[in-house]
């Protein structure tokens, strides 16, 4: 078991990538604290973990609110005695072109994606430093690497990469590691409203990916497990791209170059 008795806090653990990560971590022996604003889905994640023989706990927490984040960390420490792993996965995404996005919506994207990572990291770091042990895994996005639209969300995701590097550099001497993951398109409930309006979207998106498909949440969870585990003991401050090759190059441009 790769995370035996480790205490892992997963934000947005009620759905999609967070849920798959919670399951995977629990199956590797971790005690998992699922934090979510959606009580029903958060509780369901924990029930499923327990039904499979794992250990978990749901805590209602809005990770954009400092007091709720502090209470989340306090409860985790009361119940399990510490925090070894933090997966910052919760997010907010709305709006596209900055010319059509007002300040309020811009702030919501930054708060939901980036300030939440700031708040949760700030709350767990003192405990990780005390124990001289900790792994933070931040779920960013390929939107933080390339201009793909949704500017508020994308800028926040690029910010996560920088925050990850700075945490890694500043707290490495305390044996705290921090790494980011940049997923490409992953089939999760986040897409449901989009697919209702545009059912063929995944089929069209798949053509942009060298692997000719979009990803599954378990494929991101596997990367999170690696970065959270001791197998990644000398890896910190890095960004692991889990995108089916999307950001590796431009096939059509290559073909243009050689005149195909």
Ligand X SMILES: NC(=O)c1ccc[n+]([C@@H]2O[C@H](COP(=O)([O-])OP(=O)(O)OC[C@H]3O[C@@H](n4cnc5c(N)ncnc54)[C@H](O)[C@@H]3O)[C@@H](O)[C@H]2O)c1
Contact region for ligand X (CB under 6 A) — 61-69, 96-104, 205-213, 244-252? 61-69
From the number of C-beta atoms within 10 Å of its C-beta (0-12, 13-18, 19+), residue 136 rates as: buried
**23 neighbors 49 (Cβ within 8 angstroms):** yes
Q: Is 95 helix (H, G, I), strand (E, B) or coil?
A: coil
Interaction of residue 76 with ligand X, rule CB under 6 A: no
Beta-carbon neighbour count of residue 228 at 10 Å?
A: 29
From the number of C-beta atoms within 10 Å of its C-beta (0-12, 13-18, 19+), residue 220 rates as: buried
Of 138 and 229, the one with the shorter C-beta distance to ligand X is 138
Q: Which of 10, 26, 139, 163 binds ligand X (CB under 6 A)?
A: 139
**49 neighbors 55 (Cβ within 8 angstroms):** yes
Interaction of residue 45 with ligand X, rule CB under 6 A: no
Interaction of residue 64 with ligand X, rule CB under 6 A: yes
Give least dist CB 66 to ligand X, A: 12
Q: For residue 256, what are its two tokens?
A: 């243009």
Contact region for ligand X (CB under 6 A) — 23-31, 87-95, 199-207, 250-258? 87-95
**Cα–Cα distances in angstroms (integers) from residue 230 to residues 84, 177, 210, 227, in the given order:** 11, 10, 31, 8
Of 12 and 56, the one with the shorter C-beta distance to ligand X is 12
Interaction of residue 114 with ligand X, rule CB under 6 A: no
Q: How far apart are CA 111 and CA 64, in angstroms?
A: 6
Interaction of residue 25 with ligand X, rule CB under 6 A: no
**202 neighbors 160 (Cβ within 8 angstroms):** no
Of 188 and 236, the one with the shorter C-beta distance to ligand X is 188
153 is catalytic: yes
In this structure, the strands spanning 134-139 and 176-183 are: parallel
Q: For residue 4, what are its two tokens?
A: 């035996």
Give least dist CB 5 to ligand X, A: 25
Contact region for ligand X (CB under 6 A) — 128-136, 172-180, 187-195, 252-260? 187-195
Interaction of residue 16 with ligand X, rule CB under 6 A: yes
Interaction of residue 206 with ligand X, rule CB under 6 A: no
Contact region for ligand X (CB under 6 A) — 129-137, 169-177, 186-194, 203-211? 186-194
**Cα–Cα distances in angstroms (integers) from residue 143 to residues 32, 47, 258, in the given order:** 28, 33, 29
Interaction of residue 138 with ligand X, rule CB under 6 A: no
Interaction of residue 236 with ligand X, rule CB under 6 A: no
Q: For residue 36, what are its two tokens?
A: 């979510």
Q: What is the binding site for ligand X (CB under 6 A)?
A: 11-12, 14-18, 35-38, 41, 61-64, 89-92, 112, 116, 139, 141, 183, 185-186, 188-190
Q: Which residues does the annotation mark as catalytic?
A: 153, 157
């Amino acid at each position: 078991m790769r995370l035996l008795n480790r205490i892992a806090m997963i934000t947005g653990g009620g759905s999609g990538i967070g849920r798959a990560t919670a399951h995977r971590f629990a199956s590797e022996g971790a005690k998992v604290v699922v934090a979510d604003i959606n009580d029903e889905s958060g509780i369901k994640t924990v029930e499923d973990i327990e039904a499979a023989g794992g250990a978990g706990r749901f805590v209602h927490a809005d990770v954009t609110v400092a007091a709720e984040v502090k209470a989340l960390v306090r409860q985790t420490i009361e119940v399990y005695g510490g925090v070894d792993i933090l997966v910052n996965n919760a997010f907010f995404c709305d709006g596209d072109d900055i010319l059509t996005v007002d300040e309020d919506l811009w702030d919501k994207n930054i708060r939901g994606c980036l300030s939440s990572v700031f708040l949760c990291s700030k709350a767990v770091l003192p405990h990780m430093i005390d124990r001289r042990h900790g792994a933070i895994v931040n779920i960013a996005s390929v939107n933080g690497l390339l201009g793909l639209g949704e500017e508020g969300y994308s800028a926040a995701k690029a910010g996560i990469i920088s925050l990850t590097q700075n945490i890694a550099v500043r707290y490495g001497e305390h044996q705290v590691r921090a790494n980011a993951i940049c997923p490409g398109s992953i089939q999760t409930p986040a897409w449901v409203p989009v697919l209702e309006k545009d059912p063929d979207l995944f089929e069209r998106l798949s053509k942009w990916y060298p692997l000719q498909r979009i990803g599954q949440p378990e494929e991101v969870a596997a990367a999170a497990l690696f970065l959270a585990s001791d197998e990644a003991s000398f890896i910190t401050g890095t960004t692991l791209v889990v995108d089916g090759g999307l950001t590796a190059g431009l096939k059509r441009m290559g073909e243009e170059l050689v005149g195909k």
